[in-house]
Chains A and B, each alone.
Chain A
């Protein structure tokens, strides 16, 4: 099931149509050939909202979320679910290797990696989210730095609060770029259901 969704998304990333059998076959091949290069890991933590206006802050962290889009997302929220995911460094190495030997497979694997990271991160996050929803919360979609007007460098503080470098090997450059490349950092608003 996950594979089907990943292939579907990857086709989109490649700009191919759903009926493009050749592209689909290539994507299926690289997904199956390179599974050993996938090491998905994730880390999550809940933090209580300290302030919602003018910026969102959380108790016990140094994270500050500023911007119109994130404020809308956090309307009524009492907690934030911080989350970080990485597909691991071996994946990056595999893409580089294929770029030398099989460039088309490298491109396809790159698309697969992006699609897989998104889908897998969602799948892992869902378990945590479901648990929270059982406790009477509604959780928002995963809001990532770079969406709307939330700057990329917020990645640094969220990753630090999650201790992501130590826990899952995810690092953030000064500019807020994530390494390994197929990594995701985000935050979900947890809003109590009245």
Chain B
């Protein structure tokens, strides 16, 4: 701001001097004593106030039951306008009741009251809205949204802080400032509270983080009781001297609160005569807030607790289905005590109504722990509702480069001022660090063009398991380094994904975490209760050496069978060529390849070998089988199995492993790819009449697509058996979606195929 904007001072204490009873509604004076109200406004205008505040502070249908609140507000604004002030502010404050869950007032009821107030005030001619003397961040957000959504007026917001630097409900000035600026307040600051001098520390903090002008309206000192009366003792001189210091910190909208008079405002104007607002430089920050805490990302490592997510957690899943929120609250408390900085919250399950459950759990977790939340969902309805009712600035997890994701998620993040995680993913799955970086770069560009501030973007460089590709850990770490250094945005990673399907998961995860922290990772998403991670987070360095998992004992690699068992690709072609000189191809398959695959499959089932070995075995078989292929073997017109990752899901690693193993066993597979619409699966079956269809989904949110695909197949008269699989699937889900079989893993799917298809 180039010039100071001066507000008026107190109204309530002035009216009390004119005979207003303690505890009575000052706003009724708009109807009964309009001349008194007008004279006070005029006195402030004469003292030099640019803005007078209409006498509408407590005019709220909630408080003033039985009174004509519309008329009180309308008259209040009109009296203020008649004062000749340059601008008139509609004065809005708290309901004087606590919102749920602290109290009984619902957000929606509060919103409707505020909407009524804002619309009435604007219609009466107010030039701006002043939301003031607020203690509850959620109620403040509610009022701000009501103003933004129902008027075109600028909105200034101030909260009231106690001696301990917090509001009655525990909000600190940094948290309020970060949250309210993100929500689009046109000015933020502080009013009432303490005397001007005592407010300096609070104002210093607000000025360090406010990305909009700062407004300050202190009392004329701390209230004291003298001879039974409340008095404010700061004289106009004391007040204006302190206000000068406040202005020097960078506050540019100044006025007074309880106990201040036109004389205080006159002295304030005089003290700042000829001065201009002190310029402020606010360093961009990436933050998440709860109602009482701000976490800045990019300053040291911040841990995002992952335990409030049903994927792979049977007990949590059962608790969600049963509606046992207490179980989730325990998890939240445990993570907070273990040192988490932020909690990820995902309640996506096919059995539950996600929008309702996300809001319910979000509210209860927020009321129980102090940590900011990361709302994790791909359901825009759930995210919208949860963001709206969240007391603070949440993180949204996540958006990706697909247009439908951008179109659905970005407007929510923008409207509610959320920090947004951009996942390095789009139409394709990135494999290398360069591909990840390219996605990150596109995300930052696209999101900023769509109105998200760069510092409100966090990039998830996408962790894929090393079980299927040993290079993925290092590729991800390199991407983190590149994103941090070249794009200058914060990064997150779901650390434990790196070891999916591997042995020694904690060991691998901890070493991967160490590597990524060295690469500059801002916020790992992990289980904060795991001791191995805690040591790494404290600075213990680990080296990620996965070679032992991928180097198989070649000593037993004798003959085709031995080569399969050991995953020794090298000599298999020669061995197969040699065998084919004396044996029929089918004999080689049935006597060597299949028994070897069975053996390794049994070991996999028992947990004696892990995914890398199973894949290596399949690779050996593929190489050998390629030599025996005849023309027409790859003919997709007569497949045994149709495979697809269902609509909305682009995770296809699992499906590809199944494909590989099925082919190793000699089945013909038609792979429809990922994100496959129901109609494409139906069409493929009509064309081929394949006896088995395999559907895959990784995310809970895409399980419904399985059901719709199966329904569509049944409706089309399909006689194919359907097997479903994927990380979130269970035997029970398989039944729920109407599948014939549940393929726990690739090996299980081969067994299903064996039951219904004669091997060729």
Chain A residues proximal to chain B, CB less than 8 Å:
39, 41, 44-48, 60-63, 79, 88-90, 92-93, 96-97, 100-101, 128, 157-158, 160-163, 165-169, 171-173, 179-180
**A186 shortest CB reach to chain B, Å:** 15
**CB-defined A-B contacts under 8 Å, sample of 13:** A41-B162, A46-B225, A60-B22, A61-B21, A62-B24, A89-B168, A96-B367, A101-B330, A157-B23, A163-B23, A171-B103, A172-B97, A173-B104
Asked if B98 contacts A179 (CB within 8 A), the reply is yes
A100–B368 CB distance below 8 A: yes
Could you say which of A62, A63, A168, A169 has the most chain B C-beta atoms within 10 Å of its C-beta? A169
The smallest C-beta distance from B737 to any residue of chain A, in angstroms, reads: 34
Q: Are A100 and B326 in contact, CB atoms less than 8 angstroms apart?
A: yes
A97 CA to B336 CA in the complex, in Å? 12
- A166 B97 Cβ-Cβ under 8 A: no
B329 touches A100 (CB 8 A): yes
**Structural contact, B22 and A165, CB atoms closer than 8 A:** no
Asked if B225 and A44 make an inter-chain contact with CB atoms under 8 angstroms apart, the answer reads yes
Rounded to whole angstroms, the CA-CA distance of A103 and B369 in the bound complex is: 17
Interface flags, B2-40, vs A, CB<8A=1, else 0: 000000000000000000011110000000000000000
Q: Mark B152-183, 1 if CB is under 8 A from A, else 0.
A: 00000000101010011110000000000000
Given contacts A46-B228, A101-B333, contact A166 B133 (CB under 8 A): yes
Partner of A179, one of B21, B103, B167, B192: B103
How far does the alpha carbon of A127 sit from the alpha carbon of B230 in the complex, in Å?
A: 17
The answer to whether B169 touches A171 (Cβ under 8 A) is no
8 Å CB contact of B94 from A63, A100, A165:
A165
**Neighbour of A167 across the interface among B164, B170, B223, CB < 8 A:** B223
Q: Mark B104-141, 1 if CB is under 8 A from A, else 0.
A: 10000000000000000000000000000101000000
Chain B residues close to A by CB (< 8 Å): 21-24, 94, 96-98, 102-104, 133, 135, 160, 162, 164, 167-170, 192, 223, 225, 227-230, 326, 329-330, 333, 367-369
Q: For the complex, what is the distance from the CA of A185 to the CA of B326, rounded to whole Å?
A: 33
Contact B96 A79 (CB under 8 A): no
- Whether A63 touches B23, Cβ cut-off 8 Å, given contacts A45-B225, A90-B170, is yes
Task: Choose from B168, B227, B230 the contact partner of A169 (Cβ within 8 Å).
Answer: B168
Question: Which residue on chain B has the smallest CB distance to residue A90?
Answer: B170
Tell me, rounded to whole Å, the shortest Cβ–Cβ distance linking B317 to chain A. Answer: 20
Contact of A96 among B94, B133, B368 (CB under 8 A): B368
A62–B23 CB distance below 8 A:
yes
Residues of chain A lying within 8 A (CB to CB) of residue B97 = 171-173, 179
Tell me, rounded to whole Å, the shortest Cβ–Cβ distance linking B421 to chain A: 28
- Taking each of B164, B169, B228, which has the highest tally of chain A beta carbons within 10 Å of its own beta carbon? B228
Distance in Å: Cβ of B138 to nearest Cβ of chain A: 12
Tell me the bound Cα distance from A96 to B21 in angstroms: 38
**Smallest Cβ distance from B98 to chain A, in angstroms?**
5
Additional 6 contacts, C-beta under 8 A, given A45-B229, A46-B227, A88-B168:
A60-B22, A62-B21, A63-B23, A97-B333, A97-B368, A158-B23
A61-B21, A93-B367, A168-B168 given as contacts; is B103 within 8 A of A45 (CB)? no
Q: Which residues of A contact B169 (CB under 8 A)?
A: 89, 169
With a CB–CB cut-off of 8 A, which chain A residues contact B369?
Answer: 97
Q: Complex formed: what's the CA distance from A48 to B368 in Å?
A: 44
Complexed CA–CA distance, A157 and B96 (Å): 13
The residues of B that contact A179 with a CB separation of less than 8 Å are 97-98, 102-104
- Given the contacts A63-B23, A167-B223, A173-B97, A100 and B367 also touching, CB distance less than 8 Å: no
Residues from chain B with a CB closer than 8 A to the CB of A63 are 23
Q: Which of B21, B104, B170 contacts A60 (CB 8 A)?
A: B21
CB-CB under 8 A from A169, the residues of chain B are: 135, 167-169
In whole angstroms, what is the CA distance A61 to B169 when docked? 28
Q: How far is A38 from B141 in the complex, measured between Cα atoms in Å?
A: 26
Task: Closest A residue to B133 by CB, please name it.
Answer: A166
B192–A166 CB distance below 8 A: yes
Question: Which residues of B lie under 8 Å from residue A79 when comparing CB positions?
Answer: 228
Q: Roughly how many angstroms separate A158 CA and B162 CA in the complex, as a whole number?
A: 22
CB A166 to nearest CB in B, in angstroms, measures: 6
- In the complex, A151 Cα to B228 Cα: how many Å? 25
Main secondary structure on A side of the interface with B: mixed
> Contacts of A90 on B, CB cut-off 8 Å?
170
Which residues of B have CB within 8 Å of A44? 225
Complex CA–CA separation, A89 to B139 (angstroms) = 15
| Docked complex Cα distance between A88 and B642 (Å) | 63
Taking the nearest CB of chain A, how far is it from the CB of B130, in angstroms? 16
- Does the CB pair A89–B102 fall under 8 Å? yes
| Bound complex: CA A180 to CA B98 (Å) | 9
Known contacts A39-B164, A93-B367, A96-B368: does B22 contact A45 (CB below 8 Å)? yes
Contacts of A45 in B (CB 8 A): 22, 225, 228-230
CA distance A90 to B169 in the complex (A): 7
Residues in chain B near residue A167, CB distance under 8 A = 223
**Are B102 and A47 touching (Cβ within 8 A)?**
no
Question: Is B21 a contact partner of A165 (Cβ separation < 8 A)?
Answer: no
Q: Do B168 and A61 have beta carbons less than 8 Å apart? A: no
Closest residue on chain B to residue A92 by CB atoms: B102
Residues of A within 8 A of B330 (CB): 100-101
- Please judge, given known A-B contacts A96-B368, A166-B192, whether A171 and B98 are in contact too, CB under 8 Å: yes
* A183 CA to B50 CA, complexed, in Å: 41
Q: B residues within 8 A CB of A163? A: 22-23, 230
Cα separation A165 to B167 with both chains bound (whole Å):
12
Q: Report the Cα distance A41→B163, complex, angstroms.
A: 11
Most buried by A among B22, B104, B164: B22
Nearest-neighbour CB distance to chain B for A105, whole angstroms, equals 13
CB-CB nearest in chain A for B364 = A96
Report Cα–Cα, A79/B228, bound state, in Å. 10
Q: What is the CB-to-nearest-CB distance from B705 to chain A, in angstroms, rounded to a whole number?
A: 36
Minimum Cβ distance to chain B for residue A19 (Å): 34
What residues of chain A lie closer than 8 Å to B367, measured between beta carbons? 93, 96
Chain B residues lying within 8 Å of A168, measured Cβ to Cβ, are 168
Q: Separation in Å of the A145 CB from the closest CB of chain B?
A: 14
Residues of B within 8 Å of A171, CB to CB, are 96-98, 103
Q: Which residues of A contact B170 (CB under 8 A)?
A: 89-90
B223 to A, closest residue via Cβ: A167
**B24, closest chain A residue (CB):** A62
Contacts of A172 in B (CB 8 A): 96-97
- Determine the distance from Cα of A96 to Cα of B365 in the docked complex, in whole angstroms: 11
The 7 closest A-B pairs by CB, nearest first: A169-B168, A46-B228, A161-B23, A160-B23, A161-B22, A165-B96, A61-B22
Q: Is the CB of B228 within 8 A of A47?
A: yes
In the assembled complex, how far is the CB of residue A156 from the closest CB belonging to chain B, in whole angstroms?
9
Q: Whole-angstrom distance from the CB of A159 to the nearest CB of chain B?
A: 8
Q: What A residues does B96 contact at CB under 8 A?
A: 165, 171-172
Name B96's closest neighbour in chain A (CB-CB): A165
The residues of A that contact B162 with a CB separation of less than 8 Å are: 41
Chain A hits for B168, CB < 8 A: 88-89, 168-169
**Cα of A148 to Cα of B103 in the assembled complex, Å:** 27
Q: For the complex, what is the distance from the CA of A9 to the CA of B369, rounded to whole Å?
A: 30
Whole-angstrom distance between the Cβ of A98 and the nearest chain B Cβ: 10
* Distance between A96 CB and nearest chain B CB, rounded to angstroms: 6
Most buried by A among B160, B168, B227, B368: B168
Task: List, in ascending order, chain B residues with CB within 8 A of A161's CB.
Answer: 21-23
In the assembly, what is the distance between CA of A101 and CA of B369, in Å?
A: 12
Rounded to whole angstroms, the CA-CA distance of A72 and B743 in the bound complex is: 81
Q: How far is the CB of A131 from chain B (nearest CB, A)?
A: 10
User: Which residues of A lie under 8 Å from residue B22 when comparing CB positions?
Assistant: 45, 47, 60-62, 160-163
